Structure 1
Amino acid sequence: MTFPFWMLIVVLAVAAFTVRVLGLFAGDAIKSSRLAWMLDDLPGLIVVSLVASSLAGQSIETWIAAAAALAVAYVTNHVILTMCIGVVAYGGLVWFGF
C-alpha cells in the first residue's frame, strides 16, 4: 500500500473515533438536561415510525397482518410470537386470496 492509502485509513479512523466520542459527550449532556425524559420513549417511537412508513402504500393483506401482529404484541409482549403470527397471518391471507 502507498502512503495516500495509509493516510486515508488514518483519517477515517480518527473521524470514526471522533464521532463516537462526540456522541458520548452529547449523550451525557442530554441525559443531564431537562429534556432527558424524552429519551425514555425514543426507541419505541423510532420503531413505530419505521413500521408506519413501511406500511404506507401496502396492500390490505399487509395491514390486516400488521393489525394481527399488533394485537399479539399487545396481549403477549413476546417478540418472536408477534413476528410468527404476523408472517402466518400475511401468508394465510395471500394464500387464500383475500
Structure 2
Amino acid sequence: MNFSFWMLIIVLAVAAFSIRVLGLFAGDTIRSSRFSWVLDDLPGLIVVALVASSLAGQSIGTWLAAAAALGVAYVTNHVIMTMCVGVAAYGVLVWIGL
C-alpha cells in the first residue's frame, strides 16, 4: 500500500472518531437544553423513519401486513407478537396474491 492509501485510512479514521466525539458533545448540549424531550423520543422516531422508507414503493400486500403489525403493536405492546403477526400477515397476503 502506498502513501495515499494510508492517508485515506487515517483521514477516515479521524473523521469517524470526530463524528462520535461531536455527537457526544451535541448530545450533552441538547440534554441540558429545553429540547431534551427530543432525545427521549429519538429511538422511536428512528424506527418509524426506517420502516416508512422501507415501505416506500412496496405493494399493497406489504402495506396491509405493516398495518396489521401496527395494530398488534398498538393493542399488545409486545414486540415478538408484532413480528409474528406481521410476517404471518405478509405470508398470507402473498399466498392469496396481493
Q: TM-score range by the shorter chain?
A: 0.7 to 0.9
User: Residue 52 of structure 2 aligns with which residue?
Assistant: 52
Structure 1 92/8 Cα, relative in aligned 2: closer, same or farther at 3 Å? same
Letter in 1 for 2:60: I
CA distance in 2, matches of 1:46, 1:97: 31
CA distance in 1, matches of 2:94, 2:4: 55
TM-score normalised per structure 1 = 0.81
Letter in 1 for 2:79: V
Please say if 1:77 is aligned against 2:39. no
Offset of 1:43 from its aligned partner?
1.7
Identical-residue share of aligned pairs (%): 80
Runs of 4+ in 1 over 3 A off after TM superposition: none
Structure index of larger Rg: 1
Offset of 1:89 from its aligned partner?
0.7
Query: C-alpha deviations, 1:47-90, integer Å up to 9, x for none?
Result: 22332333344333222211211122122222222112111111
SS at match of 1:41: helix
TM-score normalised per structure 2 = 0.81
Long gaps (5+) in structure 2: none
Q: How many pairs align?
A: 98
Instruction: Provide the alpha-carbon RMSD of the alignment.
Output: 1.9
Please say if 1:24 is aligned against 2:6. no
Structure 1 97/10 Cα, relative in aligned 2: closer, same or farther at 3 Å? closer
Letter in 2 for 1:19: I
Long gaps (5+) in structure 1: none
